[in-house]
Structure 1
Amino acid sequence: MSNIVLAVHGGAGTPKAPLDEPSFHRGVAAALRAGHAILAGGGSAIDAVQSAVLALEGDAIFNAGRGAVLNEAGDVEHDAALMCGRPARAGSVAAVTGIRNPIRLAREVYEDGRHVMLAGAGAEEFAAERGLERVEPEFHAAGSPAEEWKEAAGDTVGAVALDASGALAAATSTGGIRGKRRGRVGDCPVIGAGTWADGHCAVSASGEGEAIMRVAAAHDISRLVAYKRLPLEDACNEVVHKRVEGEIGVIAIDRSCEVALSFNCGLFHRGVIYSDGLPLTAVGPGEPTAVAD
């Protein structure tokens, strides 16, 4: 298990009020444990990132799945994506409603293989065909205790992993911007913008979606690693601090087990877990540390 590693994030932004930081630490740690259990059992990176994001979607403190925010019409519209770097495969969904776990729907698109992205009513029809669980609007509205955080930015959750076979994968899920225009889609499901994995690295981003899309931030990081031979952390910092004109946080892992957690905003809920199985988390500046029980 020496070469397995998983990183997750619970969103980047600048909050307008104090946060319940212990809840964010616990939520990130739970997602780390869920994904690590897959990797430690010899599972794939794609299964690990899905498992981690499922944990985050199920925790109402995060703006994804159960805790997703409402658009201007008072509805929840989800975006989600996942990608495996070897072989290059991806699945994503955009502007979908009534889905309990959007990352499961993205995985179904991935497994089906005929398309990379499905959106809106067509994605919802596909979800019904695949037997995915639907939920009533109250399921989401009942699970939003951290509105002061979710109002701060286009919050997102995500995970990246390297498995024992050397495969890399990334997954991202979000409810988007609070009060967004109906049909607005952010960077999360756009392959290469908020989610990317290839043979060099896996990247998941959070922050101001439009700014992230304009530079294809996740793919840009990978190209800096592949073509300019930049170390992963340098590549992430180049994109985060010099190329994206807006708030952003990224998590990334490369094939040599290096991890980068880079952000340019007030807070970035993030964490990493290595083969020893100890979750390390952080919210603001500084290195992730062990989570207190």
Structure 2
Amino acid sequence: MTGNKISDNDFALAIHGGAGTILRSKMTREREADYHGGLRRALEAGRIVLADGGSALDAASAAVMALEDEPLFNAGRGAVYTSAGTQEMDAAVMDGRDRSAGAVAGICGPRNPVLAARAVMEHSGHVILIGESALQFCRRQGLAFEEPTYFYTEQRWNALQETLAIRESGADDQDESRKHGTVGAVARDRHGNLAAATSTGGMTAKSPGRVGDSPVIGAGTWADNETCAISATGHGEIFIRYAAAHEIASRMRYAGQSLEEAARAVVIDMLAPAGGSGGVIAVDQAGNVSLPFNCSGMYRGVVRGDGRLLTAIYDEPLIDFRNA
């Protein structure tokens, strides 16, 4: 999906709640409404910032915080479990104005990991902090922490048990919703600046210590005013190996491709044949938006200056769910 060039004082925000959605056959009307509602709340959180003249970075952060607070999505409160029954969260932010970036990996405790990533960007001389040292840094910055019970959801715990049982049986797990999940936001503000933010709980039953593409700048997160802002979701190892987000920006910069051409070429023609199931959300300096994915679906949404909160889950047009 692309948009026409927007006016200089307009804005664009796109979000995702992860690729690899619940299978249509298992999705109830009530559950579907819940997902659309969560996406709409995140869009509105970012829209308020942009409509008030706020920065793309603030808007992307606000949208991701809203998604992290939703137990439906695999980030923050809804993070999945490792094979050891623990939770390890990753997040990243990037500012397109000067390519400032911050990321955290393998943490559990901060209520909003995206704020931990932003603290690294704004209050340290580093790009990525991990594990206990990252947690100590977050405490020094005064970030809000939660007890482990806050991050527990029965759905995620049951998914871990099901995945472990499938592995024990030797069967092939066909449920994409257990294999990957992430949340993210990309924005173009009224000043023409771009930003991206991504947050994830990783893969259900992943090995403790595994880090995916979300906090890897150029793989799962990227922002540069001269090209685009990207947040990815999918099979992180493949996205890292192909530097997916940076590849899209490079195709725009050096090959002269449009945002839509570059994003689709990477997601459909490059990642899919390599086993890189997933998708991206992308916005360019002109406010064009692209949301390609190569799997069963991707929780996603877009809002512009007209205030319409458009969302979708499967291979379908974005809709105003209130009027659906």
TM-score per shorter chain, which class?
A: over 0.9
CA offset digits 1:56-75 (Å, max 9, x no partner): 00000000000101111111
Corresponding residue number in structure 1 for 2:314? 284
Amino acid at match of 1:178: T
Amino acid at match of 1:156: T
1:231 and 1:8 mapped to 2: Cα distance? 20
Matched-pair contact (CA < 8 Å) for 1:68–1:144: no
Corresponding residue number in structure 1 for 2:211? 185
Q: Which of 20, 38, 55 is the aligned partner of 2:49?
A: 38
Runs (4 or more) in structure 1 with deviation over 6 Å come to: 145-150
- Structure 1: 5+ residue runs without aligned partners? none
Q: Which of 193, 200, 215 is the aligned partner of 1:174?
A: 200
Most deviating of 49-58 and 140-149: 140-149
Most deviating of 18-27 and 184-193: 18-27
Q: Which of 103, 122, 125 is the aligned partner of 2:114?
A: 103
1:125 and 1:179 mapped to 2: Cα distance? 26
2:158 and 2:316 mapped to 1: Cα distance? 25
Corresponding residue number in structure 2 for 1:6? 13
Matched-pair contact (CA < 8 Å) for 1:81–1:93: yes
2:269 and 2:207 mapped to 1: Cα distance? 29
Matched-pair contact (CA < 8 Å) for 1:77–1:97: yes
Answering whether residue 246 of structure 2 is matched by residue 219 of structure 1, we say yes
- Deviation, 1:286, is 2.1
1:78 and 1:36 mapped to 2: Cα distance? 26
Corresponding residue number in structure 2 for 1:157? 183
Answering whether residue 133 of structure 2 is matched by residue 122 of structure 1, we say yes
CA offset digits 1:205-235 (Å, max 9, x no partner): 0011111111010110011111111111110
Amino acid at match of 1:27: G
Query: Identical aligned pairs, as a percentage?
Result: 47
Amino acid at match of 2:20: G
Matched-pair contact (CA < 8 Å) for 2:20–2:177: no
2:156 and 2:86 mapped to 1: Cα distance? 17
Query: Which structure has greater strand proportion?
Result: 1
Scaled by the length of structure 1, the TM-score of the pair is 0.96
Change (3 A) 1:74 1:83: same
- Deviation, 1:40, is 0.4
- Structure 2: 5+ residue runs without aligned partners? 1-7, 160-174
Q: How does 1:196-215 map to 2 (within 5 A)?
A: 196-199=222-225, 200-215=227-242
Q: Which of 19, 26, 49 is the aligned partner of 1:18?
A: 26
Amino acid at match of 1:25: H
SS in structure 2 of the partner of residue 152 of structure 1: helix
Aligned length: 293
Matched-pair contact (CA < 8 Å) for 1:225–1:232: yes
Matched-pair contact (CA < 8 Å) for 1:176–1:186: yes
Corresponding residue number in structure 2 for 1:141? 152
- Deviation, 1:146, is 9.8
Amino acid at match of 1:239: V
- Deviation, 1:239, is 0.3
Q: Which of 286, 296, 305 is the aligned partner of 1:266?
A: 296
Q: Which of 229, 252, 259 is the aligned partner of 2:282?
A: 252
SS in structure 2 of the partner of residue 155 of structure 1: coil
Q: Which of 211, 214, 221 is the aligned partner of 1:195?
A: 221
Corresponding residue number in structure 1 for 2:90? 79
Matched-pair contact (CA < 8 Å) for 1:171–1:195: yes
1:50 and 1:155 mapped to 2: Cα distance? 18
Change (3 A) 1:146 1:39: farther
2:129 and 2:83 mapped to 1: Cα distance? 22
- Deviation, 1:153, is 2.4
Answering whether residue 49 of structure 2 is matched by residue 49 of structure 1, we say no
SS in structure 2 of the partner of residue 257 of structure 1: coil
SS in structure 1 of the partner of residue 292 of structure 2: strand
Scaled by the length of structure 2, the TM-score of the pair is 0.87
Structure number with bigger Rg: 2
1:147 and 1:206 mapped to 2: Cα distance? 22
